[in-house]
Structures are given as C-alpha cells and as structure tokens.
Amino acid sequence: MYIGTSKLTHTYWPGTPFAADALKNISFSVGQGTFTLLIGPSGSGKTTLIQHLNGLLKPSAGEVYFDGKKIGPDKAALLALRRRVGLVFQMPEDQFFSETVFDEIAYAPRNLGLDEKKVEERVNRAVAQVGLERSRLLDRHPFQLSAGQKRRVAIASVLSLEPEVLILDEPAAGLDPEGKGNLLNLLSSLNRAGKITIMVSTHHLDEIAALADNLVVLNEGGLVMSGKTKEILARGAELKELGLALPQVTGIMHELAARGLPVSTDIYSLSAACDEILQAKRADQR
C-alpha cells in the first residue's frame, strides 16, 4: 500500500480524565497518484488522521504506512518522510512569520539545507505551480495579500519541499466561490500534470467530488466507508444521515430518480449529469 493505516487508534490525553478517542480502529489505503477526499462532519477526526500521515502524531494503537513501510519513531526516517509527504494545515496562513512572500516560501527548502540558488529555483517553481508567477508578489508582505493569494502562498510554502504527496486540511475553508474554484483547478493540475498524490479533507462535498478518485468517510472517529467516489456517492442516503450534504449535482440526480426519471445517481460532475438527463429524456420520448 502507498499511504494507509491499519487499525489506527488515537487517544488524546491518555490516562487522564480528559482521555478521548479521536480515532478508532481506522484502516484504509490509497494508491500512488490518486486524488482522495477525506470527508466527515466537524470533530470527526480528519485533522487527527491527517497528522498521523506525516508522523506528527503517534498512534495510540495500530500502524501507519507510507510507501510500503511502517512509520516508526526513528527521527531521521521521520525527517525523510516529512520531505516526501507535504502537509498543508487548516488555515495555513496563520503560520506566516516572514517579512516577504519569498522568505515564506523559502522557509522549507532552507530548512532542507539547500544553497540559495537552489532555494530560489524551488521558490520560483512553487510560485509557478500555484499560478502566482505573474502577480509579482514575492517582495510583498504576506499579510498584505488577499485571502485567496494567502492560501496559494501557504500551499506554495509546502510545495517548495517538492513532496510526492500533498495533504491539505480543509483547504477551501474561508475562501469565496471564485477562490474556491481557483483552488480546485490548482489541486487538479497538481494531481494530473504534477503527478502528485493528493489527499484533501473537507466537510463539504461539492464540486471537489468531481476531482476525487476515492472517498474516505469518517464519523465520530470511526471509518464509515471508503472506496471509489462513484460507489460511495450512490449511497447518498447514508451520507445524508451523517449530516453531509451531497454535491449539488448528485442531489439533483437523486431527486430526479426519486420522481421517476430513470437516471443513475452516482453522478457528480455537471457534464456527466447533462448527458445522463438528456439520454433519459430521449429514451422517455421514444
């Protein structure tokens, strides 16, 4: 398995009256080059799970794997792991501390001990990857940027590690619809063109579902289901029970099917929905 966990359990504050199982017995795996969505309501354990995947948190029980190897406590191995698995935190712009955008993005490669020339190359590449190469903001103060730009800079400041896996914790939180759209394009191109394995946590299934190969659904620390996007979205009723909204398009398809139009309900992109409805209509008229 490329990335995965086996019977992962995590308890915060073990051995105190505050002890709480944030994750219970989670087993899942995803393949290299895939795009995975981690969905679950607030407090379901998404952040906790994600922080195990690059060794920031240690399992209370069970194992975490990356590239076929178990993630252990060895310090050198952990450093190597964190170079390969980049993690973008929830509200990542809260971490900004540099005086210029350049320094912010250069932080990670400088930590790797690269020389300034290589650092600059990496910064430029990361800036291009997030689509900010033409906005000339490298010399600006990070706090002067717009929310969408800040989010991109935050992502660039992890991409400059040149990881092969990029994990993002609620990357769309707090962005306006346009910023959200840009973000989705960015993630899609990183995955398709950049060949980066991507994992995104969200509590809002929407346009982003169209990008995902796999869904992993969490609720109250437990794994509810995981598998191909199509298969999971077909189980809309179960998702709704968890208080998770279906993507709008999928919702409409479920509605249409319920009212007697013979359409399939595992559809989550707009174009596929159009085709399906037209086809059903034609069949109906005949």
Partner 1 sequence: MSGGISLGHYLPGNSFFHQLNPRIKVPSLVIILATLFAVTSFPALLTMIVLVFLMFRLARVPFRYLLKGLRPILYIALFALFIFLFFTKGGVVLFRLGPLTVESAGLWQGLFVITRLVTLVLFSLLLTLTTTPLSLTHGLGYFLKPLGRIGLPTEEVVMIMAIAMRFIPTLIEESQRLMRAQVSRGADFESGSIFRKAKNLVPLIVPLFVSAFRRADELAMAMEARGYRLGAKRTRLHEDVITATDWAVLLVVLVMLAASFYFKL
For ligand ATP, the binding residues in 62-121 under the rule CB under 6 A are 90
Site string for ligand ATP, 28-67 (x = CB under 6 A): ------------x-xxxxxxx-------------------
* In the complex, minimum distance from the CB of residue 81 to Mg ion, in angstroms, rounded to a whole number: 21
The pattern of x and - marking residues 10 through 49 that bind Mg ion according to CB under 5 A reads -------------------------------------x--
2 binds, among partner 1, ligand ATP, Mg ion, none (CB under 5 to 8 A by kind): none
51 sits near Mg ion (criterion: CB under 5 A): no
Beta carbon of residue 108, minimum distance to partner 1 (angstroms, whole number): 4
Residues in binding contact with Mg ion, number by CB under 5 A: 1
Residue 135 binding result from Mg ion, ligand ATP, partner 1, none, given CB thresholds of 5 to 8 Å by partner type: none
CA-to-CA distance for 50 and 60, rounded, in angstroms?
Answer: 15
Asked whether position 270 contacts ligand ATP by CB under 6 A, the answer is no
Task: State the binding partner of 107 from Mg ion, partner 1, ligand ATP, none, CB within 5 to 8 A by kind.
Answer: partner 1
